[in-house]
Structure 1
Amino acid sequence: GGAKERRTVGWDQRRIGGWWDAYLSVNRSFADAVTAMLKPGDILWIHDYHLSVLPNLVTDWENLEYGGQVTKKVFFLHIPFCSSVVFKELECGGDVLEGMLSADVIGFHTFDYARHFLSCVKRLLGVGYESLAGGLIGLRYRGRTVLVTMHSVSVEPVAVDRALASSPVEDRLGRYRAKYRDATVIAGVDVAQSLSGIRYKLLAYEELLDGYPIWRGRLVLAQRCLIPGARPADETSTLREVRSLVKRIRRKFGDLTVDYEEIHGSSLPIVERLALWRASDLMVVSAVREGLNLLPLEYIYAREKPHSAPGITVASEFSAVCSELNGALRINPFDVPGTASVLDKALTMDPQEREGRRQRDLDFVTSSPSSKWAEKILRDMKEVTLYDRDDDDSDAEGDGNNSDDEMDYLNGGGAMLPREKKKVIDSTSAFLARETALNFSHLDGDAVMQAYHKTSRRVLVLDFNG
């Protein structure tokens, strides 16, 4: 009975109350486990949407136990954050936002997702944001500054290098090359769910073969569909549609035109992936919504070696990786003819442009492992300036001497109690941010317009976040 229910359950607005209660119950279970281990001065890092209210639960416990916040919290979201138009439809949306805002740092992989979050906070809670020095974004919430940051992560070079040097990868690569022979290979590895946009990839591939006859008999689409079992109804309907499209393309252009496999599980083994990347000339991501996806980065890295010709990544403009890779060709997966045209461009691209596009991304792809990603976020956390909600100018200036409690807080040892009306600057850069604001010179609009009208050739340089 339970298995059948998991297969058939869908969205039902009437069941939100029970689902939300279950969600809170899971977060409270995590809060109980975490607070049993937390000590003053600790850093708590919370990952993804499953635990969005956990920061607030831990903060409530700190207030009861210590009379104030004694730890610092990072909340990082690895999926897209929807626009405020969609988010406002959630009955529990305000609670989700308040839970996230109890963290000291809220992280996203792309600016678009951070922008949607900031818009939701403004529209639902009336909380605005400000730009800080160094491109940081701060929210004033309950007398604190909450930092919103964006950082991307790449592959683990040591692990990938070890796998690339292994004999299983070479053996599997040899089998791929024997199978595909002289064909140009387009690779795709996607979760079998509607948001992956596999149908649009197949439709564009069919359009390419229909509209560009020169490619018939010369291409192979190596498509792997992962079946994690997390959303059975979605996966079943997606696979049904994908199988139908694969069958249609094979019937029109031959069985060898599509090399299609379904893999049960959430990932393709690294040996299979790396061999496929090495055998492929293009990789296509056609997601209509997507958060963290390291596969395109792994594809670029796997083809970085001297014996590999540059591969081209074709990425949906709705995927996070599209914002990370400057060398990728961008597509709108809903525009099937346009995607087919981009695929033709990628297939006919000269070696110099291929190499140029690879070079644009190599620095990030090869030097941004998870350890550096974590270091950047923890560094941002140290940039946060904490204010007491009743802070005023005279209290902020003080007498130039720090109390024992203040020094203890700065050293990570204790809570900042509400009665302390001091401004605490947690780092040198935060101090510079305040001084920059005090000495900031506003743009003279009249002077700009006068210079603009006096010239016939103009260059506009627009800075971004600081």
Structure 2
Amino acid sequence: MQNSFSVRLVVVSNRLPVSLARDDKGWTVKAGAGGLVTALAPVLMNRGGLWIGWAGAAADADLKKLLGDFSQDAGYDLHPVFLSQEEIGDYYHGFSNEIIWPLFHDFQARCNFKPAYWRSYLDVNLRFAEVTARHSRDSDYIWVHDYHLMHLAFMLRNMGVERNCGFFLHIPFPSPDIFLKLPWRDKIIRALLEYDLVGFQTHRDRRNFVECMEALVPDARHSGRGNIVSISWKNRTIRAGSFPISIDFNSFASMAAAKDVVKSAEEIREALRHRKIILGVDRLDYTKGIPERLESIRQLFLSYPDLCEKLTFVQIAVPSREVIPEYLALKTEIEQLVGEINGQFTRPGWIPIHYQYRSLPRRELVAYYRAADMALVTPLRDGMNLVAKEYCAANVTQSGMLFLSEFAGAAAQLQKVGATLVNPHDVEGVARAIQRGFYLDTRERHSRMAKLRDSIRRNNIFWWVDSFLQAAFARQLDDFPQDTVDFRTSTYE
């Protein structure tokens, strides 16, 4: 796809927004899934944007044609980074997901601080920097995403490539007592200071970053208050700010109002005999607190037997990292708990827990959001958690309730406007909150959900992008010329 725009936004992330698969007929490419793709694809669309990332394919794939065809449809260019199987093992599965992921989510006991992982992480960050330098130009704005690529700006500067670079961390940033356990803590914190702007999900994350910086980089000084603070270091000014990510509210709301989705939601309710539905939706991961949530449902029916046969809990677990033994063990634990609890409480015509281990198409997921009377979003630790926001956006009848972990980044925003915060470790407390929610006055439920939806509508994905670009480059979305599609009002799937 030819680019005629002089101002371009370049997104760099671990993965391209596509998935490649091979069958008897060869390679095929499909649009990827996940929060980052959902957030940024419409932002780049027909605005001359680039996306750089690992394609997840073997070297024999005809990537030029596959990605070229996708680019024509998507409205932005894709540039792949190639990784070997060893690099995938050490950089991605190793450093990213056996060190940074558990450490930053307060699960330091799960960390594997293997030196080879660190060396591979640096090698891959250099590879990403080389591709970024090759395909970007001086006027571009480089927006790097997440913990896989914390060293990219450092690598660019070492190569003598000057670019305006912003970084956004989608997961939490830990407090000093946790971060300081990282063997490469000094190098990581200094690498992050090579960005012009470092963005976090919450004020707490930004505060943790500043405190870690003060402990490890004594010659760095910060000043300012509010969402963004300034940091002076090595004759440079770096800004650190909190920018809570969000969703395309209108897309979820309009889809939830579509006739086929309304019909699907009614079919779900009919299948569950019009009992009240509590919904959980999560990627299968130990940070999501699914076992603890199931124990809360067990406690709910133990403490409040009058709710038996009146409530049904639906848990959707999206497969993730299936090759890792730890995740297979978690899957087994969840399945055993579901069997135990159903065996304990099931009565003729009523099964308390309906468990699904699969990925759902967007419209089917929204149908579940619409059908659910309550959403139980209880991660043990989460950078933001967009499921909470998606559920509210899809709740067009404004009759639902959101139970949200106080350890999710979304709690900072949504606790003030109607979410019921719970401690996911307190199974009795969660059960008590659900019981109270079940009997909550209809007008009160409506009022809370209306406020939640209004907050998410105002602070949507486009507000998130605008706020980051304004802080990073004094730019807004409208500064990136658009060709033909007004994505602010379009519905995408």
TM-score range for the pair, normalised by the shorter chain length? 0.7 to 0.9
Secondary structure of the 1:260 match is strand
Out of 404, 407, 426, the residue aligned to residue 318 of structure 1 is: 407
Out of 177, 186, 205, the residue aligned to residue 85 of structure 1 is: 177
Out of 182, 192, 204, the residue aligned to residue 112 of structure 1 is: 204
Aligned counterparts of 2:381 and 2:150: Cα–Cα separation in 1: 20
Task: Give the letter aligned to residue 36 of structure 1.
Answer: R
Q: Which residue of 2 aligns with 1:126?
A: 218
Assess if the C-alpha contact under 8 Å between 1:164 and 1:274 holds in 2.
Answer: yes
Aligned counterparts of 2:374 and 2:164: Cα–Cα separation in 1: 43
Q: Which residue of 2 aligns with 1:258?
A: 353
Assess if the C-alpha contact under 8 Å between 1:195 and 1:288 holds in 2.
Answer: yes
What TM-score do the two structures reach when normalised by structure 1? Answer: 0.74
Assess if the C-alpha contact under 8 Å between 1:185 and 1:279 holds in 2.
Answer: yes
Out of 321, 332, 346, the residue aligned to residue 437 of structure 2 is: 346
Aligned counterparts of 2:232 and 2:266: Cα–Cα separation in 1: 58
Aligned counterparts of 1:381 and 1:309: Cα–Cα separation in 2: 36
Assess if the C-alpha contact under 8 Å between 1:163 and 1:270 holds in 2.
Answer: no
Q: Which residue of 2 aligns with 1:194?
A: 286
Aligned counterparts of 1:13 and 1:359: Cα–Cα separation in 2: 42
Structure 1 position 127, deviation (Å): 5.0
Task: Give the letter aligned to residue 106 of structure 1.
Answer: V
Task: Give the letter aligned to residue 124 of structure 2.
Answer: V
Structure 1 position 167, deviation (Å): 4.2
Structure 1 position 381, deviation (Å): 2.2
Alignment of 1:60-71 (within 5 A): 60-62=158-160, 70-71=162-163
Out of 101, 111, 124, the residue aligned to residue 26 of structure 1 is: 124
Aligned counterparts of 2:130 and 2:192: Cα–Cα separation in 1: 18
| Bigger Rg, which one | 1
Alignment of 1:413-428 (within 5 A): none
Q: State the aligned residue count.
A: 369
Does residue 38 in structure 1 map to residue 130 in structure 2? no
Secondary structure of the 1:360 match is helix
Task: Give the letter aligned to residue 280 of structure 1.
Answer: A
Secondary structure of the 1:36 match is helix
Cα 1:129/1:256, change in 2 over 3 Å: farther
Structure 1 position 241, deviation (Å): 1.4
Q: Which residue of 2 aligns with 1:288?
A: 380
How big is each residue's C-alpha offset from its partner over 1:266-302, in whole Å with a ceiling of 9 and x where there is no partner? xx32112111111111101111111232111111111
Alignment of 1:172-183 (within 5 A): 172-183=264-275
Assess if the C-alpha contact under 8 Å between 2:280 and 2:315 holds in 1.
Answer: yes
Out of 248, 260, 270, the residue aligned to residue 156 of structure 1 is: 248
Task: Give the letter aligned to residue 123 of structure 2.
Answer: S
Point out the more displaced range, 373-382 or 202-211: 373-382
Aligned counterparts of 1:13 and 1:208: Cα–Cα separation in 2: 34
Cα 1:227/1:14, change in 2 over 3 Å: closer
Q: Which residue of 1 aligns with 2:481?
A: none
What are the ranges of 5 or more consecutive residues in structure 1 without an aligned counterpart?
Answer: 385-466
What TM-score do the two structures reach when normalised by structure 2? Answer: 0.70
Q: Which residue of 2 aligns with 1:387?
A: none
Q: Which residue of 2 aligns with 1:378?
A: 469
Q: Which residue of 2 aligns with 1:141?
A: 233
Aligned counterparts of 1:280 and 1:188: Cα–Cα separation in 2: 10
Secondary structure of the 2:244 match is coil
Aligned counterparts of 1:214 and 1:31: Cα–Cα separation in 2: 60
Aligned counterparts of 1:164 and 1:363: Cα–Cα separation in 2: 16
Secondary structure of the 1:256 match is coil
How big is each residue's C-alpha offset from its partner over 1:359-378, in whole Å with a ceiling of 9 and x where there is no partner? 33223311333332111111
Aligned counterparts of 2:215 and 2:184: Cα–Cα separation in 1: 14
Secondary structure of the 1:153 match is coil
Assess if the C-alpha contact under 8 Å between 1:154 and 1:364 holds in 2.
Answer: no
Aligned counterparts of 1:380 and 1:122: Cα–Cα separation in 2: 22
Cα 1:230/1:82, change in 2 over 3 Å: farther
Alignment of 1:447-462 (within 5 A): none
How big is each residue's C-alpha offset from its partner over 1:340-388, in whole Å with a ceiling of 9 and x where there is no partner? 111112112112221222233223311333332111111112579xxxx
Assess if the C-alpha contact under 8 Å between 1:118 and 1:129 holds in 2.
Answer: no
